[in-house]
């Protein structure tokens, strides 16, 4: 198949493109800047330079490639995120998830793409009920103010992709990435903060996180490209874990002291309400559907012992 990957030079794009090429697909990789053209050649893709927020450029790029499948991996997440101001730090990504999604869908409809696969995230589930959620569980109806634009943008993406009756719309709700090029890669700012004991546990650390190695996420995406059916899929490992579990374990793995524990009121001062919610109330996700319907299983079934080193 001919596959058009938007966001082909990001952390997951760099894993995804070579896998698609190895599977025998003709890959056209879109990036915004000329500087990434050589990288796309090295990954095995035909380079496409276009601004995802320019509808005409996107239409021209997709029209020239005439893909069977579009994969939407566009984000612009900064290396350092202030959870007190997530609406500011995710503003560019939110535009890519709204305007960028609409441009790609419009361009895809014009050439009749058979399948449209888009990047979602598991951090939007309602903070009530069980600790681990499935794809049909409700979204958070009252997120902290700083998180609202993010969830609104993700909802726009999901509604637009799954509502496109002319194609097989698929949303992959990825877990928290770790591995090369991610915020949990060796040497990343987050890992450095944990090393310096500047990433404390807030209150009971009861927020549950679901991780996924970026290579496993890429494998799941290849499966979705090749035989995915319309719907949402949680792409996470087998081991959802509370912050009170994974944060001390990661510190121990890094050979540093156990993170400090602070009360919620202190957590709000340095992380805002959004950061406190992520530490204390977040819900994890089940990968049962992705395993069953995509025929995928993570090569890294647990984050234990490999988080921030793999």
Q: What is the DSSP letter of 139?
A: B
Contacts of 244 (CB under 8 A, 6+ apart): 201, 204, 205, 206
Residue 270, Ramachandran bin (φ over 0: left; ψ between -120 and 50: alpha; else beta): alpha
> How does pLDDT run across 192-206, given as a tens digit for each residue?
999 999 999 999 999
Model-level pTM?
Answer: 0.96
> How does pLDDT run across 67-88, given as a tens digit for each residue?
999 999 999 998 888 999 999 9
Q: How far apart are CA 300 and CA 108, in angstroms?
A: 33
> How does pLDDT run across 243-268, given as a tens digit for each residue?
999 999 999 999 999 999 999 999 99
Query: Does the 2-182+211-237+285-294 domain belong in CATH 3.90.1150.10?
Result: no
Quick one: pLDDT at residue 80? Answer: 82
Q: Is the pLDDT of residue 310 over 90?
A: no
Beta-carbon count within 10 A of 63 CB: 12
User: Nearest 5°: CA angle at 145, between 81 and 88?
Assistant: 35
Is residue 66 classed as helix, strand or coil in its secondary structure? coil
How many residues are recorded in the chain? 310
What is the mean predicted confidence (pLDDT) over 113-140?
97
Lowest-confidence pick of 32-36, 47-51, 127-131: 32-36
């Amino acid at each position: 198949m001919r596959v058009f990957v938007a966001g082909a030079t990001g952390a997951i794009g760099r894993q995804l493109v070579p896998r698609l090429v190895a599977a025998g697909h003709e890959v056209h990789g879109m990036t915004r800047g000329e500087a990434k053209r050589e990288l796309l050649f090295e990954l095995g893709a035909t380079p496409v330079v276009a601004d995802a927020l320019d509808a005409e450029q996107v239409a021209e790029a997709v029209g020239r490639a005439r893909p069977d499948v579009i994969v939407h991996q566009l984000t612009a997440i900064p290396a350092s995120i202030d959870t007190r101001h997530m609406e500011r730090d995710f503003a560019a990504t939110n535009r890519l998830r709204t305007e960028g999604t609409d441009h790609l869908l419009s361009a895809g409809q014009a050439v009749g793409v058979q399948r449209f696969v888009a990047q979602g995230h598991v951090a939007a589930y309602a903070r009530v009920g069980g600790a681990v959620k499935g794809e049909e569980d409700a979204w958070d109806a009252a997120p902290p103010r700083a998180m609202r634009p993010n969830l609104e943008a993700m909802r726009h993406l999901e509604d637009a992709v799954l509502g496109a009756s002319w194609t097989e719309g698929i949303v992959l709700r990825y877990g928290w990435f770790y591995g090369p090029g991610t915020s949990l890669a060796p040497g990343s700012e987050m890992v450095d903060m944990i090393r310096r004991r500047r990433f404390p546990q807030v209150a009971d650390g009861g927020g549950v996180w679901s991780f996924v190695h970026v290579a496993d996420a890429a494998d799941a995406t290849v499966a979705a490209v090749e035989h995915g059916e319309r719907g949402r899929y949680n792409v996470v490992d087998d081991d959802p874990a509370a912050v009170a579990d994974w944060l001390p374990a990661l510190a121990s793995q890094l050979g540093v002291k156990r993170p400090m524990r602070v009360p919620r009121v202190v957590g709000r001062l340095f992380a805002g309400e959004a950061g406190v919610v992520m530490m204390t109330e977040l819900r994890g996700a089940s990968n049962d559907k992705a395993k069953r319907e995509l025929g995928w299983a993570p090569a890294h079934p647990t984050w234990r012992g490999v988080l921030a080193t793999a």
